[in-house]
């Protein structure tokens, strides 16, 4: 890792998505330090990445961001199925996002960028849904639904940008992930033998390969 570059903390760094991000950033010449945040300190970590066991309590996170002079935080544990740890559709981690937001906006930290790996499941699925949703489309999920928890968790991420204008917030709504090493709904579907095929017209699907 280079000198004088970005210092990045990854929440959920030992999950499949987080590990991929950590491995890529570890080799980036513009990155000085990569710090992985996980609650379990007994796991096998990515070589060259400094891991810290942290339960996500805001005061602990603030101390961690200060200690390592973190300027960018990447939330790779936002949605379990997009992070590669759930073969069932999953909503947003509201509590963890709220805690990260509270720590990031603390005036004692030097964080300037907050990147959230959200989910395209925030968009409703129906026969009347448009083929492509515009960026400003309103997301409304039924109470208790996967989409509703994603909308709520994203709202806390947006609050960071509203409370701290000096922090850039990026919400990335990832399509379903397919590829080796990821436990996701589509990987579970594609692993079945024989592979189910829907009747009628071929559906329009947007998938995200692990390699991408």
Query: How far is it, in rounded angstroms, from Cα 151 to Cα 139?
Result: 7
| Predicted pLDDT of residue 2 | 45
Query: How far is it, in rounded angstroms, from Cα 76 to Cα 73?
Result: 10
| Predicted pLDDT of residue 87 | 73
Record the pTM. Answer: 0.86
What are the 10-residue block averages of pLDDT along the chain, 212 residues in total? 77 88 91 87 68 83 94 92 79 87 95 93 75 69 75 90 93 87 82 77 77 79
| Predicted pLDDT of residue 66 | 95
| Predicted pLDDT of residue 43 | 59
| Predicted pLDDT of residue 40 | 67
| Predicted pLDDT of residue 206 | 81
| Predicted pLDDT of residue 210 | 82
For 68-115, give the secondary structure using H, E and C: CCCCEEEECCCEHHHHCECCCCCCECHHHHHHHHHHHCCCCCCCCEEE
| Predicted pLDDT of residue 4 | 63
| Predicted pLDDT of residue 202 | 67
């Amino acid at each position: 890792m280079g000198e004088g570059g970005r210092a990045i903390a990854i929440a959920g760094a030992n999950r499949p998505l987080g590990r991929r991000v950590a491995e890529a950033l570890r080799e980036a010449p513009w990155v000085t330090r990569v710090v992985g945040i996980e609650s379990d300190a007994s796991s096998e970590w990515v070589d060259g990445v400094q891991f810290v066991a942290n339960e996500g309590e805001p005061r602990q996170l603030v101390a961690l961001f200060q200690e390592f002079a973190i300027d960018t935080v990447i939330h790779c544990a936002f949605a379990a199925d997009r992070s590669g740890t759930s073969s069932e559709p999953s909503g947003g981690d509201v509590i963890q996002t709220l805690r990260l937001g509270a720590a990031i906006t603390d005036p004692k930290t030097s964080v300037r960028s907050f990147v959230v790996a959200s989910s395209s499941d925030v968009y409703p699925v129906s026969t009347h849904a448009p083929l492509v949703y515009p960026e400003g489309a309103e997301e409304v999920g039924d109470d208790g639904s996967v989409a509703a928890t994603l909308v709520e968790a994203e709202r806390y991420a947006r609050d960071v940008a509203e409370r701290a204008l000096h922090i850039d917030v990026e919400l990335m709504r990832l399509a379903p992930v397919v590829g080796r090493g990821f436990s996701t709904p589509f990987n579970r579907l594609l692993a079945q033998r024989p592979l189910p095929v829907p009747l009628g017209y071929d559906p329009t699907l947007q998938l995200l390969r692990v390699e991408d």
